[in-house]
Amino acid sequence: MDIELGSEDLAFREDVRGFFAENAYKAGEDYNVWRLEWFKKAAQMGGWDVPKWSKEFGGPGWTPTQHYIWEQETATATLPWDMPFGIGMVAPIIMAYGNEEQQKRFLPDIRARKVNWCQGYSEPGAGSDLAALKTKAVLSEDGTHYTVNGTKIWTTMAQIADWIFCLTRTDDSGIKQEGITFLLFPMKQKGIEVKPIITLGGAHSVNMVYFTDVSVPVENRIGEEGKGWTYAKGLLQHERTGLAGISRSIVALEKLKEQASSVKRGNGSLMDEPSFRAKVAELEIDLMASEYTELRSLASASAGSAPGPESSILKLKGTEIQQRIAKLTVEAGGIYSAAWGRGVGHKFAKAGMGGYLASRAFTIYGGASEVQKDVIAKNVLGLKRSTT
Amino acid sequence: MNFELTNEQQMLQDSVARFIQDNYDLESRAKSAASKSGFSQDHWQTMADLGWLGLGFDEADGGFGGGHVDIMLLMEQFGKGLVLEPLLASVILGGGALKRGACAELKTEILPGLIDGSRQLALAYAEEQAHFDLHDVITTARSKDDGFIINGHKSMVLHAGTADQIVVSARTSGGQIDENGISLFLIDADAEGVKRENFPTVDGLQACEVTLKDVIVGSNRLLGELDDGFAILNNVATDAILALSAEAVGAMEILYKDTVEYTQQREQFGHPLADFQVMQHRMVEMFMEYEQCKSLLYRATMEAAQGSATTQRTVHALKHLVGKSGIFIAENAVQLHGGMGMTEELRIGHYLKRMIVIDAQFGNADYHLQKFAA
Ligand SMILES: Cc1cc2nc3c(=O)[nH]c(=O)nc-3n(C[C@H](O)[C@H](O)[C@H](O)COP(=O)(O)OP(=O)(O)OC[C@H]3O[C@@H](n4cnc5c(N)ncnc54)[C@H](O)[C@@H]3O)c2cc1C
Share of chain B above pLDDT 70, in %: 100
Q: Which of B323, B328, B357, B39 is nearest to B198 (CA)?
A: B39
Give A93-102 contacts, CB < 8 A, sequence gap 24+.
Answer: A93/A165, A93/A182, A93/A222, A93/A231, A93/A232, A93/A234, A93/A235, A94/A222, A95/A53, A95/A54, A95/A56, A95/A57, A96/A231, A96/A234, A97/A182, A97/A222, A97/A223, A97/A231, A98/A222, A98/A223, A101/A219, A102/A219, A102/A222
Q: Is the pLDDT of residue A387 over 60?
A: no
**A348 vs A371, more confident:** A371
CATH assignment, B231-373? 1.20.140.10
Contact flag A353-B331 (C-beta cutoff 8 Å): no
pLDDT of residue A170: 98
DSSP of B299-329: HHHHHHHHT-TTHHHHHHHHHHHHHHHHHHH
Contact flag B156-A339 (C-beta cutoff 8 Å): yes
**B325 vs A264, more confident:** B325
CA B100, chain centre distance (Å): 18
Residues contacting residue B284 through CB under 8 Å, at least 6 positions apart: none
User: By the CB < 8 Å criterion, does B21 face chain A?
Assistant: no
Q: Where are the domains of chain A?
A: 7-82, 115-226, 245-379
Class of B121-228 per CATH?
mainly beta
Note whether B121-228 and B231-373 share their fold.
no
Q: What is the mean pLDDT of chain B?
A: 96
Going from the Cα of B339 to the center of ligand 1, the distance in angstroms, rounded, reads: 6
Confirm or reject: Cβ of A84 under 6 Å from ligand 1. no
Task: Choose the closest CB to A199 out of B269, B342, B360.
Answer: B342
Q: Is A164 left (phi over 0), alpha (psi -120 to 50) or beta?
A: beta
pLDDT band at B250 (very low <50, low <70, confident <90, very high): very high
Residues contacting residue A219 through CB under 8 Å, at least 6 positions apart: A101, A102
Q: What is the mean pLDDT of chain A?
A: 92
Q: Is the pLDDT of residue A121 over 80?
A: yes
Going from the Cα of A85 to the center of ligand 1, the distance in angstroms, rounded, reads: 18
Question: Mapping DSSP to helix (H, G, I), strand (E, B) and coil, where does residue B138 land?
Answer: coil
Q: Please answer whether residues A248 and A75 qualify as being in contact, where contact means their C-beta atoms are separated by less than 8 angstroms.
A: yes
Contact flag A335-B343 (C-beta cutoff 8 Å): no
Q: Is the pLDDT of residue A310 over 90?
A: no
Which residue minimizes the CA distance to atom 44 of ligand 1?
A: A370
**B257 to chain A, minimum CA–CA distance in Å?**
20
Share of chain A above pLDDT 70, in %: 94
Q: A21-56: per-residue pLDDT in tens? A: 999 999 999 999 999 999 999 999 999 999 999 999
DSSP of A231-275: HHHHHHHHHHHHT--HHHHHHHHHHHHHHHHTSEETTEEGGGSHH
- Per-residue CA distances from B277 to A65, A178, A363, A365, B119 (Å): 41, 28, 18, 21, 53
Q: Please answer whether residues B189 and B254 qualify as being in contact, where contact means their C-beta atoms are separated by less than 8 angstroms.
A: no
Contact flag A388-B269 (C-beta cutoff 8 Å): yes
**A242 vs A370, more confident:** A370
pLDDT of residue A264: 86
Q: Please answer whether residues A257 and A248 qualify as being in contact, where contact means their C-beta atoms are separated by less than 8 angstroms.
A: no
Q: Where are the domains of chain B?
A: 7-115, 121-228, 231-373
> What CA–CA distance (Å, rounded) separates A317 from B205?
35
Q: Please answer whether residues B161 and B134 qualify as being in contact, where contact means their C-beta atoms are separated by less than 8 angstroms.
A: no
Rounded (10°) angle between helices B229-265 and B68-81: 40
Q: B39-90: per-residue pLDDT in tens? A: 999 999 999 999 999 999 999 888 888 899 999 999 999 999 999 999 999 9
Task: Choose the closest CB to A200 out of B209, B335, B349.
Answer: B349
Q: What is the DSSP letter of B363?
A: S
Q: A176-218: per-residue pLDDT in tens? A: 999 999 999 999 999 999 999 999 989 999 999 999 999 999 9
Q: Please answer whether residues A167 and A158 qualify as being in contact, where contact means their C-beta atoms are separated by less than 8 angstroms.
A: no
> What CA–CA distance (Å, rounded) separates A147 from A141?
11
Sign of the CA dihedral B42, B47, B50, B53?
negative
- Per-residue CA distances from B54 to A174, B49, B57, B177 (Å): 67, 10, 6, 34
Q: How many residues does chain A have?
A: 388
- The ipTM estimated for the assembled molecules is 0.96
Which residue minimizes the CA distance to atom 31 of ligand 1?
A: B338
> What CA–CA distance (Å, rounded) separates B200 from B33?
9
| Low-confidence winner among A243-257, B32-46, B323-337 (lowest mean pLDDT) | A243-257
Q: How many CB atoms lie within 10 A of CB B61?
A: 21
> What CA–CA distance (Å, rounded) separates B233 from B228?
9
> What CA–CA distance (Å, rounded) separates B163 from A180?
61
Going from the Cα of B338 to the center of ligand 1, the distance in angstroms, rounded, reads: 5
Q: A279-289: per-residue pLDDT in tens? A: 999 999 999 99
| Low-confidence winner among A384-388, B81-85, B364-368 (lowest mean pLDDT) | A384-388
Question: Mapping DSSP to helix (H, G, I), strand (E, B) and coil, where does residue B294 land?
Answer: helix
Radius of gyration of chain A from its Cα atoms, rounded to whole angstroms: 22
pLDDT of residue A366: 87
How many Å from the N-terminal Cα to the C-terminal Cα in chain A? 43
CATH assignment, A245-379? 1.20.140.10
Smallest CA–CA distance from A205 into chain B, residue? B343
* CATH fold label, B7-115: Butyryl-Coa Dehydrogenase, subunit A; domain 1 (1.10.540)
How confident is the model over A220-245, as a mean pLDDT?
84
User: By the CB < 8 Å criterion, does B279 face chain A?
Assistant: yes
Q: Please answer whether residues A351 and A359 qualify as being in contact, where contact means their C-beta atoms are separated by less than 8 angstroms.
A: no
Q: Please answer whether residues B171 and B181 qualify as being in contact, where contact means their C-beta atoms are separated by less than 8 angstroms.
A: yes
Phi/psi for A218 (5° steps) reads -65, -25
What is the residue type of B48? A
Contact flag B341-A337 (C-beta cutoff 8 Å): no
> What CA–CA distance (Å, rounded) separates B40 from B214?
34
Q: A83-114: per-residue pLDDT in tens? A: 889 999 999 999 999 999 999 999 999 999 99
User: By the CB < 8 Å criterion, does B353 face chain A?
Assistant: yes
pLDDT band at A141 (very low <50, low <70, confident <90, very high): very high
Model pTM greater than 0.90?
yes
Q: Which of A161, A126, A166 is nearest to A146 (CA)?
A: A166
Q: Is A304 left (phi over 0), alpha (psi -120 to 50) or beta?
A: left
* CATH fold label, A115-226: Butyryl-CoA Dehydrogenase, subunit A; domain 2 (2.40.110)
- The residue whose CB lies within 8 Å of the most ligand 1 atoms, and thus the one to mutate among B258, B267, B273, is B273
pLDDT band at B241 (very low <50, low <70, confident <90, very high): very high
Q: B186-207: per-residue pLDDT in tens? A: 999 999 999 999 999 999 999 9
Confirm or reject: Cβ of B279 under 6 Å from ligand 1. yes
Phi/psi for A289 (5° steps) reads -70, -45
Q: Please answer whether residues A340 and A353 qualify as being in contact, where contact means their C-beta atoms are separated by less than 8 angstroms.
A: yes
How confident is the model over B4-29, as a mean pLDDT?
95
> What CA–CA distance (Å, rounded) separates A263 from B133?
13
Which residue minimizes the CA distance to atom 13 of ligand 1?
A: A154
